[in-house]
Amino acid sequence: MTGGFTTAHLFYLVHSIWWTLVLSALAFVLGSIGGFGVMLARISPRRWLSRPAMVYIEAIQGIPLLILLFIVYFGLSVYGFQVPALVAAGLALMVYTSAYLGDIWRGCIDAMPKPQWEAAECLSLTRWQTLRLVIIPQALRLALPPTVGFLVQVIKMTSLASVIGFVELTRAGQIINNSIFQPFLVFGLVGVFYFALCYPLSRWSQSMEKKLNVGNR
């Protein structure tokens, strides 16, 4: 006979939130670095840079994250690389995040008016100086809401790491439910915890959008 839900189960769920945050931060930080590089390559006037970046974005966006997780975790083991679940999940999410953030930021850069580029050219600024001093500071205002919105998606997508055995919030809920068989209670709490993580970010994004007057441009 199984027991009921106890405070020990609750503490186990709360502790698993930490690993959800660790995986989310790992994926978002590394994905942001990669996404910035993808964005620079995508807007490059050199076709040998922009074309591969476009192919990379389209390929990654066309592959489900679950498949990327399987490729990294199980695929690398075939060649003798034993990758820990955290590292595999972080790498897969990093690749996935870099493609989407690179495309989001590319769109924000392209949304800048052409006279901005022309004015910078008249001042004899290099392309990198134009991006760093003129274009990117303005594009940040456009990029903030979708970037934070995608961060919310990254937090929720960490739940897929449970399929490779990484114990984050969703996997912790599965483990508890397998022992007490109370899915409505357990996964209801898991949903509440995800909401508690994601809702403040969504509100912060809306607040920053109003402060920066992004919606009134």
Q: Which of 83, 57, 80 is nearest to 70 (CA)?
A: 83
- What pLDDT is stored for residue 6 in this prediction? 87
* Residue 30: inside a domain: yes
In sequence order, what are the residues at sequence separation of 6 or more whose Cβ sits closer than 8 angstroms to the Cβ of residue 50? 41, 42, 43, 44
* Residue 147: inside a domain: yes
- What pLDDT is stored for residue 56 in this prediction? 95
* pLDDT confidence band for 129 (50 / 70 / 90): confident
Query: Higher confidence at residue 208 or residue 193?
Result: 193
Question: Rounded mean pLDDT of the chain?
Answer: 88
Positive or negative: CA dihedral 189, 195, 198, 201: negative
Mean local confidence (pLDDT), 50-60: 94
Which tens digit of pLDDT belongs to each residue from 137-195?
Answer: 888 888 888 898 899 999 999 999 999 989 999 999 999 999 888 999 999 999 999 99
Which tens digit of pLDDT belongs to each residue from 142-154?
Answer: 888 889 889 999 9
Domain containing 61 equals 7-216
Indicate the residue type of 153. Answer: Q
Q: Is 207 exposed, middle or buried (0-12, 13-18, 19+ CB in 10 A)?
A: exposed
* Residue 2: inside a domain: no
Mean local confidence (pLDDT), 60-65: 94
Is 38 a residue whose pLDDT tops 90? yes
- What pLDDT is stored for residue 37 in this prediction? 95
SS (H, E, C) 61-126: HCCCHHHHHHHHHHHHHHCCCCCCHHHHHHHHHHHHHHHHHHHHHHHHHHCCCHHHHHHHHHCCCC
Is 131 a residue whose pLDDT tops 90? no
Based on the structure, what is the number of domains in the chain?
Answer: 1
* pLDDT confidence band for 4 (50 / 70 / 90): confident
CA distance 206 to 211: 9
* Residue 1: inside a domain: no
* Residue 132: inside a domain: yes
User: Nearest-5° angle of CA 185, CA 188, CA 191?
Assistant: 155
CA distance 76 to 163: 16
CA distances to 85, 115, 148, 205 from 152, rounded to whole Å, are: 22, 34, 6, 10
* Residue 162: inside a domain: yes
Q: Which residue has the tokens 């969504």?
A: 202
Which tens digit of pLDDT belongs to each residue from 72-115?
Answer: 998 887 887 788 899 999 999 999 999 999 999 999 998 888 88
Is 24 a residue whose pLDDT tops 80? yes
CA distances to 118, 119, 121, 144, 150 from 126, rounded to whole Å, are: 11, 12, 7, 25, 31
Task: Residue 78: give its domain's CATH number.
Answer: 1.10.3720.10
* Residue 26: inside a domain: yes
What length is written for the chain?
Answer: 217
Indicate the residue type of 187. Answer: F
- What pLDDT is stored for residue 212 in this prediction? 64
User: What pTM, to 2 d.p., does this model score?
Assistant: 0.87
Contact 139, 111 (CB under 8 A): yes
**3-state SS, residue 165:** coil
